[in-house]
A and B are shown apart, each in its own frame.
Chain A
């Protein structure tokens, strides 16, 4: 066997994986070959160093921490899509409600603006409040009712965005009521 062939066995030797015959053969060679003996010493030193590096006691175990963290992060995701029984409602339904409320608010706001008269048609004859912007009176009332209902829900919410939006809805409703009152009292937009 060549020196290289013996050296290839050194890791198995220090790991005590060589069978008795192969180990004895290697030891005979090591006694006779200074270079290979030097290799054996270096291999054993590195082996000990690796064992020592890996032998540090590790602090605790991460298994439960990992599983807890996974559960926690997984819980974050489905929570947005479903509401567990007895749990605090997630914010997703609120977001949808905001979208609906915003749509209604825009619709009512646009109607009010048209009713009050935009810059381009300020001189035109405006319809009565119950006939504004081509919307039927019933739809106007429904829109207002929806806004009011949205406001009730928003008032119970504890989120900053919802509160700000609620204030916007309240302003919109107040403006609508004011304009209707003015129109009924003859103080609304002047008709030509």
Chain B
């Protein structure tokens, strides 16, 4: 049986860095896929995922004892992604002649709108949604990974669906456009 996330974190903190490989293997798919959906650029997503994992490793001592690794990792990945967007905007603003224009977030061929809505979900719904749909896990596997019953997984997903549908309704989109 594979060790839990918490056990892996403990091992890493005790100097067994190679244990981190298991955490990376476990979460690289959901993190990279989520970032790719959000960023629309496979290579940028892979780089952001790599940076998120590396940052997380060197900050493991800041993870509260007993706190879940994956939602914490998602929040780090989210920050890395925002930093990437900021850098892209700076590059875009500097490239006056248009020779060095980074792809804009909204111009990419991806469901960025959905990914944005997922990003705004409260942590428990976001982690469940990412693991299920971006991590390619079944609901049962999500339950095992998060150590929660299958019924809790489906309840969280039901709530996540409701929130996502609210966020994705045309009325909200119009309000967003007015705010811009």
Contacts and interface: CB of A to CB of B under 8 A. Distances in A.
Contacts of B165: 42, 46
B154 A12 contact: yes
A53 B21 contact: no
Given A61-B28, A70-B57, A53 B150 contact: no
Interface in A1-28: 8, 10-12, 15, 17
Nearest to B38: A53
B76 to A, nearest CB: 13
Interface residues of A, number: 33
B53 A62 contact: yes
Interface string A61-75: 111011101110110
Nearest to B22: A63
Interface in B13-70: 17-18, 20-21, 24-25, 28-29, 32-34, 36-37, 42-43, 45-46, 49-50, 53-54, 57-58
B46 A50 contact: no
A80 interface: no
B53 A56 contact: no
A51 B154 CA distance: 15
Interface extent on B, as a size class?
35 or more
Interface string A15-55: 10100000000000000000000000011001101111111
Given A10-B158, A49-B114, A50-B133, A60 B33 contact: no
Nearest to B17: A70
Name, among A10, A11, A12, the residue most crowded by chain B CB atoms within 10 Å (CB to CB). Answer: A11
A155 B48 CA distance: 43
Given A43-B161, A46-B165, A60 B46 contact: yes
Contacts of A88: none
A58 interface: yes
Contact of A15 (B29, B34, B154): B154
List the 6 closest A-B pairs by CB distance, nearest first.
A59-B42, A54-B133, A54-B134, A50-B133, A66-B53, A11-B158
